[in-house]
A and B are shown apart, each in its own frame.
Chain A
Amino acid sequence: MKTYEIINHTADIGLKVFGKNLEALFLNAAQAMFEIILEKTEKESLFKKQESKKFLLNKQGSNLEEIFVFWLSELLYLFNSEGLIMNKADIHKLDSNCIQAEIIGRIFNTDLERIKTEIKAVTYHELEVKKTERGYEAKTERGYEAKVIFDV
Chain B
Amino acid sequence: MSDIWQGPLDKIDNWRWRIPKSYKSGMRVPGVIYADEKLLKDIRQDKASEQVANVAFLPGIVKYSLAMPDIHWGYGFPIGGVAATDVGQEGVISPGGVGFDINCGVRLLKTNFQYDEIKDKIKDLIYVLFSDIPSGVGSKGDIRVSQKEEREILVKGAGWAVDKGYGTKEDLECTEEYGAMSGADPLAVSERAYERGKAQSGTLGSGNHFLEIQLIDQLYDSRLCDDLGLVLGQITVMIHSGSRGFGYQVCDDYVKSMIRCLSKYHINVPDRQLACAPVNSTEGKQYLAAMKCAANYAWANRQCLMYLTRKSFQRVFNKSWESMGMQLIYDVAHNIAKIEKYTVDGKEKTLCVHRKGATRAFGPGHPALPDRYKRMGQPVIIPGDMGRNSYLLVGTQKAMEETFGSTCHGAGRVKSRSAALRTIDANRLIKELEAKNILVKASGRGTIVEEAPEVYKDVNEVVDVVANAGIARRVCRMRPLGVIKG
A interface residues, Cβ below 8 angstroms from B: 6, 8-13, 39, 66, 69-70, 73, 77, 80-81, 114-118, 120-127, 149, 151-152
Contact = CB atoms under 8 A, between A and B. Distances in A.
B416 A121 contact: no
A10 B416 contact: yes
Given A10-B72, A12-B75, A118-B207, A124 B271 contact: yes
A123 to B, nearest CB: 4
B73 A10 contact: yes
Interface of B: 1-2, 46, 48, 72-76, 79, 96, 99-101, 136-138, 192, 195-196, 205-207, 245, 248-249, 251-252, 255-256, 259, 271-273, 275, 413-419, 444, 446
A70 B253 CA distance: 11
- Which of A77, A118, A149 has the most C-beta atoms of chain B within 10 angstroms of its own C-beta? A118
Contacts of B415: 10
B138 A118 contact: yes
Sorted from nearest, which 4 A-B pairs have the closest CB atoms?
Answer: A125-B75, A124-B272, A123-B75, A118-B137
Contact of B446 (A8, A11, A69, A116): A116
B93 to A, nearest CB: 17
A118 B205 contact: yes
B273 A10 contact: no
Contacts of B2: 8
Contact of B138 (A8, A70, A80, A122): A80
B255 A11 contact: no
13 contacts: A8-B2, A10-B1, A10-B416, A11-B72, A11-B74, A39-B446, A77-B192, A77-B249, A80-B138, A80-B196, A118-B138, A151-B248, A152-B417
A54 to B, nearest CB: 19
Nearest to A73: B252
A34 to B, nearest CB: 13
Contacts of A126: 75, 271
Contacts of A123: 75-76, 96, 255, 273
A10 B414 CA distance: 6
Given A118-B205, A124-B255, A124-B271, A8 B248 contact: no
A13 to B, nearest CB: 6
A125 B259 CA distance: 12
B417 A66 contact: no
B46 A10 contact: yes
Contacts of A152: 207, 417
A34 B137 CA distance: 14
B100 A127 contact: no
A39 B447 CA distance: 12
A149 B418 CA distance: 13
Given A115-B137, A118-B138, A121-B251, A149 B444 contact: no
Contacts of A9: 1, 73, 416
Given A114-B444, A118-B138, A81 B195 contact: yes
A120 to B, nearest CB: 4
B356 to A, nearest CB: 12
A73 B195 CA distance: 15
Nearest to B263: A62
Contacts of B74: 11-12, 125
The CB with the most chain B CB atoms within 10 A, among A80, A81, A151, A152, is that of A151
B419 to A, nearest CB: 7
A131 B108 CA distance: 51
**Chain A CB within 10 A, most for which of B96, B196, B272:** B272
B416 A8 contact: yes
Contacts of B101: 120
Nearest to B415: A10
A77 B373 CA distance: 42
B233 to A, nearest CB: 34
Contact of B1 (A8, A39, A73, A81): A8
A149 B75 contact: yes
Contacts of A12: 74-75
